């Protein structure tokens, strides 16, 4: 998308985005994931600023939906100062069984896209931004504002998430002996993240602060054997979604397109306490031959099956003792002299 100033371009952006939106239905809440389509167009509200206004880029898509980015700058840096998401609940194909037909507008100033002036902002990694009751996840972003020409600057400001990845140099062509597979470096202690689920009115109904580390065994296609991988979830690359009902709640954590964790919480209406009743992990890493769902029964649930087994065995033993005592007593009653 581009924003024009006369015959010149002042904003240019090439990006992918998806929107995780929670809304009300007659049966509670529902969460949908809406991608930004390639057919999105630049809206008339886009401008290059001036007269006290910030430069802004507004992309229109679907039936009354839009994504807006406004920019600000100082002497050395420019940034996305405001993100605005507008979605139309009357679009039944996107929001089935929605309670309302309102056009909802949510916005945030905590976007985290900053670049040096006269450089192109680049961020390939998935970058989630929480805005109201929705989460906007950007990826493959190449963008520049306050442009001095019609083309993106060849100089780049790379986001922090991309800087954390390093690329190994290609092997030397003269090498004839295959090197042994490198031993993976342990990921270390995972970082604590803050994950939440909100109702359509923006009220947080589920909040979790936790550090997550996955220890997964799977068959490696490259090594032709089963290996064990330890992976930390990175909060700045993980999006949260889910739903809340009167007696249950779901938290779904997604890191990129390869890892998905789902937590199911259930409320015990008698004790008025909630507990974790389900946990599933779906991983689709490049070296896997198949995607692996992982779900393991917790120790407490395993122990809970032991109790009825022990009680049943005790009752069976008690019945056996009573039966033996009855037979012995009956035999003794026929001993000795008989009455004529």
pLDDT digits (tens, 9 = 90+) for 60-111: 999 999 999 999 998 789 999 999 999 999 999 999 999 989 999 999 998 8
For residue range 145-157, what is the model confidence (pLDDT) as tens digits?
988 888 899 999 9
Token pair listed for 31: 């969460």
| Position 253 in a domain | yes
Q: What is the pLDDT of residues 179-223, one digit of tens each?
A: 555 556 667 788 888 999 888 778 888 888 888 888 877 777 777
Residues 266 and 220 both lie in one domain? yes
179 found inside a domain: no
Residues 7 and 126 in one domain: yes
Do 137 and 264 fall into the same domain? no
Does residue 108 sit within a domain? Answer: yes
Among the listed residues 266, 254, 162, 165, the one whose alpha carbon sits nearest the alpha carbon of residue 212: 254
7 within a domain of the structure (yes/no):
yes
Residues 21 and 117 in one domain: yes
How many structural domains is the chain composed of? 2
Q: Are residues 301 and 220 part of one domain?
A: yes
Same domain, 281 and 147: no
29 and 126 in a single domain? The answer is: yes
Q: Which residues contact 308 (CB under 8 A, 6 or more apart)?
A: none
What CATH code is carried by the domain that includes residue 41? 2.40.160.110
| CA atoms of 24 and 35, how far apart (whole Å) | 20
Residue 332 main-chain phi, psi, to 5 deg: -65, -30
Looking at the fold, whether 25 and 147 belong to one and the same domain comes out as: yes
Q: Are strands 65-73 and 56-61 parallel, antiparallel or unpaired?
A: antiparallel
The number of residues in the chain equals: 340
Residue 340, domain member (yes or no) = no
Q: 60 and 124 in one domain?
A: yes
Same domain, yes or no, for 16 and 69?
yes
Distance CA 228, CA 178 (A): 22
Same domain, 75 and 105: yes
The pTM of this model reads 0.50
Query: In the predicted model, is pLDDT for residue 306 greater than 90?
Result: no
Out of 164, 194, 211, a domain closes at 164
Instruction: Determine the structural domain holding residue 95 and report its residue range.
Output: 1-164
Answer whether residue 153 is part of any domain: yes
For 72-84, give the secondary structure using H, E and C. EECCCEEEEEEEE
Q: Which of 133, 164, 195 is the last residue of a domain?
A: 164
In this structure, are 264 and 295 located in the same domain? yes
pLDDT of residue 118: 92
Beta-strand pair 114-116/41-42: unpaired
Tell whether 325 is covered by a domain: no
Task: Tell me what the mean pLDDT of segment 37-59 comes to.
Answer: 88
pLDDT score, position 180: 53
Q: 2 lies in a domain?
A: yes
């Amino acid at each position: 998308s581009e924003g024009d100033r006369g015959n010149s371009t002042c904003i240019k952006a090439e990006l992918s985005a998806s929107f995780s939106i929670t809304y009300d239905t007659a049966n509670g809440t529902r969460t949908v994931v809406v991608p930004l389509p390639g057919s999105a167009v630049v809206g008339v509200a886009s401008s290059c600023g001036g007269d006290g206004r910030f430069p802004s880029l507004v992309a229109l898509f679907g039936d009354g939906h839009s994504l807006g980015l406004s920019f600000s700058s100082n002497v050395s840096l420019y940034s996305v100062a405001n993100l605005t998401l507008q979605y139309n609940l009357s679009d039944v194909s996107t929001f089935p069984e929605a309670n309302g037909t309102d056009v909802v507008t949510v916005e945030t100033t905590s976007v985290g896209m900053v670049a040096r002036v006269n450089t192109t902002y680049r961020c390939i990694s998935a970058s989630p931004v929480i805005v109201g009751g929705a989460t906007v996840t950007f990826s493959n972003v190449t963008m520049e504002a306050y442009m001095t020409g019609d083309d993106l600057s060849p100089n780049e400001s790379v986001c922090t998430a991309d800087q954390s990845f390093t690329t190994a140099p290609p092997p030397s062509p003269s090498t004839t002996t295959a090197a042994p597979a490198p031993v993976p470096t342990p990921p270390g202690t995972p970082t604590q993240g803050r994950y939440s689920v909100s109702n359509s009115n923006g009220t947080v109904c589920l909040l979790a602060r936790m550090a997550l580390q996955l220890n997964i065994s799977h068959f490696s296609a490259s090594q032709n054997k089963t290996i064990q991988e330890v992976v930390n979830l990175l909060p700045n690359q993980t999006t949260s979604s889910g739903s809340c009902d009167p007696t249950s709640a779901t938290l779904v954590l997604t890191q990129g397109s390869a890892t998905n964790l789902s937590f199911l919480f259930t409320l015990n209406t008698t004790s008025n306490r909630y507990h974790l009743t389900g946990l599933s992990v779906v991983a689709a890493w490049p070296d896997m031959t198949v995607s692996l769902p992982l779900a393991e029964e917790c120790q407490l649930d395993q122990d809970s099956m032991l109790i009825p087994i022990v009680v049943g065995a005790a009752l069976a033993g008690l019945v056996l003792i009573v039966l033996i005592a009855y037979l012995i007593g009956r035999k003794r009653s026929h001993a000795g002299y008989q009455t004529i």
